[in-house]
Structures are given as structure tokens and as C-alpha cells.
A and B are shown apart, each in its own frame.
Chain A
């Protein structure tokens, strides 16, 4: 249970405060409701590039990191297809520095050409490091556009191609900032030994005079229902054949999300899970196998991915995956299996709540999706899932015509 207090400033900034008296550190998390899905198809990778620029100095403060390090704090950020999230941890006594820094960069950035030029290079290197110069690094560059035809989930957060990042202009940067980096498009969540009484005046002082603005109404193209099996085969210079199967599934806010998540756990969470036991241990077809849900805010993907053992043919390996899926579609899982995945969810949550940063983030995410208090109801929603729900979901989504398959084969020269 994460107790919290909540208030909203006149400019629309929502603020959530969770008190944890046991820690000398405060987590200060600010989430902007903008992600890669809000990008123009011809300027992808922009939300993430922009996140880098947020560290290039703001209107009144030339450098973001230094003043924070000087008071013993630390920070980072991440961008997803759905959101952009910035977080700071700082000794509680110095929390006002976090307010000062975050409010100034919400007010306005410095917009220097130097920062744009350097961060374009840095992000291009990030693109190379994680997506191009790694074995299997380009999987999501291939799988997303196979699974999505209309919805902007068809490109990854890093962007469709390096050129989109290289071509970003200062004008693009400014437009993006003024459209999305607004108090009424943000949620501030603070966890530590602080309460609303202490936080509210600080929030008012530093964020209160930042004007609100018009956030463009999100009107994303809806992904049409998939009605055919899709398949793509590529060859790369990698040591092992791999397969990826992506099934369309519901969004994170859908009532079926918890059952879908548990279905993926039944298949592959832990060494007693079905795919691990059958495909790795018993049949010895894969060196590695996983099933997981993407947890995205719009309709997402249920992914099964595996690396084939040397000498195993694709058709045999794929059939073995499909056979396991047929089993979970034909017969309800056992009571034991259901209990097991529910217990895992419970303990994962308990361990995750030992971190104040996790608590601050989870509150902000939940608030964005509807209500911060949902973090406290999640556990019960998982407990409510029945074997019947899981059986129904398995039959709804694990269908040939709902699947995009990527065959990622090692090239013959190896």
C-alpha cells in the first residue's frame, strides 16, 4: 500500500506526494505525457532526442546536471513510445534544488545550437550502439513495422532511421517543446520523508507561475484489426537463428490486461514455466525462450522470442512453440499454475516497493492512466483473474491471423 496526497496547481500541474519516513533521500519524478507515438512519421526519434536536449541548459540555468551534483543529487530520464519521464534523487534537505532545476526547464530551454548539434551526434551513437552494432539489435526496427501498419507504434523510440535524427532542426525542437512541455501536460510525483504541507508551497513557488498552454489533442491513427498471418525473414551475421512472434493484445488500461500479463507469466516466467520446461529442458530446441507483454498504453504486443539451438530447423522449433500455445488454448491452466503466477506478482510488487524511486514512478504512471490510487488496486486486479479468463484470452489472441512472425536467420557464410 502506497499512501499519498494529491493536489493540482492552477496551471494544471498535478502533484503527488508519498511520505516514507525511513529514508534520507527524496525521489522527485516528473512525467510528461508525450512519447514516440506523438511523433510525425517523417520526424521519428524526436521525443527521445528531445529528452537529451532537456539536459542542455534551461532559460535561467546554463547547466542542469552540475547544480544537482553539487547538492549530492543524481538524475536520469527515459523515453518510451508513450511517455517521457525525468527523475532525480537528492538528499531530502536539498530538495529545493530539484524544484529550481525542473521548473526552469519546464519554463523554457536555452535552445543552443551547440547542444542540438552535440546531442544529435550522441543519439546517433546511441542508435549505433544499441540497434545497429549489436547482434539482434535491429529486431524492433523490423518487428514494429511488421506488426503495426497505421499506429505510430510502428517505429521504435530511437526512431525509424538515423537520418531522421540527423535532420532535426532547432525549429522542430522549439515547436515540440512549446506543444508538450507544459504544466498541464505533466505529473510531478515526490516520495520521501516529506508531506503535502511541506511540498505544496514549494510547488507553488517554483511551478506556480509557469503558464499552461494548449496541448495538441492526441488523435492517433487506429491500428486496423489484423486478419492475416504476417511473416518476414531476414538474414544477418549472427551466431544463432532466432524467432520472434508478436501477437496483438489489449492496452495497459484494458480490463483484460492483467489476465494477459499472467498468461505470459504462465508461459515463461521462471524455470518452472511452460515454454522453459518444454522447449529448453525437455525438447532441447532453444537456448533461450521468452514470452512477455509490452504493457503499452495503446493496443500492444504479446511477444514470444527465442534463440534456436545449433542444428535445429525453423519449422520444428516454431511448431514446438505453437504446440505449447495450442495446449494453453485447449485446456485451462492448473490451480497451481494460477497460484504461482499470482504469488510472483505479489512478491515482485513487495520487492519493488522497497525503492522510493519506484514508488514515485508508479504513482505518476498510474495517475497518467487515470488515478494514482490504481497502484494500490493492481494487486487485487491480479488476484481476481480466473483460469477461465486466461483460457479466453489465450484463445482470443494466440491466433495465426493475429500474429507477426520475424525469422531472424544467421547468414550462410557463417
Chain B
């Protein structure tokens, strides 16, 4: 039980997917103008990651032992199909949420966070439940970073920043500070 807890915590903060593994930097630059869009996209990504973790476990267990070189291709296809299904589902059940997420939802398919998570899960040999905890923790960690960066950028909107530092350069400086701050968690739980 405590093992599962530490997998969750370490995926969420100790080895944060964005700040430590550098996964999924495009959405960090693209959608963090506002804190709100940030955490909405984060939650959608978390949902896809949990499903992808399940799919990757099934593939690893029953299919890929025969042909390990097909791993990346089959993960990519599985993730793309999951995103497609989630998109159809959200569109049918809650059209308002679908409109709000807009283009970000299909873009999760091309996001390195989900593929990276499935590969880490395979390399570390997680069981089904461990993998699901890893995916959920990682997704919530991404959500936290997206809303943090979004909040900081909202505050900086009217700050007197030199023209040369506007745009992605500023976002990366913010990310560097956050990454330094998150290093404070290093070694926690010794996971």
C-alpha cells in the first residue's frame, strides 16, 4: 500500500513530468495564458493517461512479448484511438465541455507525456495497479504545473517586462524557477 502511495507522490511531484522529465512542453507554452484552461487540459490529459496506462499494460502482457520492436508503434496507435474515443464520448455526453477544450483535446494524441508515461511504465516493469497510480500521479502533477504556470503568467500580464523577454523565453524562465523549487522534493520517499 505504501509502495503505491510513493509511486503516486513521486510521479506527481518528485519526478514531475513537465519540470523534471521535460515531457509535454508544447502545451505549457501554448495553453497557459490562463490558469483555467491550464488545469482543464491537465485533467483531460490525466484521464487519457490512465486509460493509456491500462491499454499499455494489456498490450505488454498479451501481445508485445512476441514482438517487442513493435512497442512504440502499437502504443502510438493505442493512444490515438483512446483520444479519438474520449473525444467522441465527451462530444456526445457534455457538448459544453467539448467546446471549451476545443483543439486541445485531439492534440493530446500527439503529446509526449502520454507516450513517455507508457514507456516509463514498461521500462520499470510496473504491475497494473502500480501503472494506474503512476499515470494518475503523473497526470495530476502535469495539471498542477499547467495551472501554476498559467497563474504566474496571468500575474505577469501587466508587469513591466522588457520587450525582448516576452513570449516563450519568459515561460522557460518561469519553468526554470519552478523546476528549482520542485528540486526541493528530491529524495523524498526514496522511491
A and B co-occur in one complex? no
Q: Which residues of A contact B (CB under 8 A)?
A: none
Residues of B whose CB lies within 8 Å of any CB of A are: none
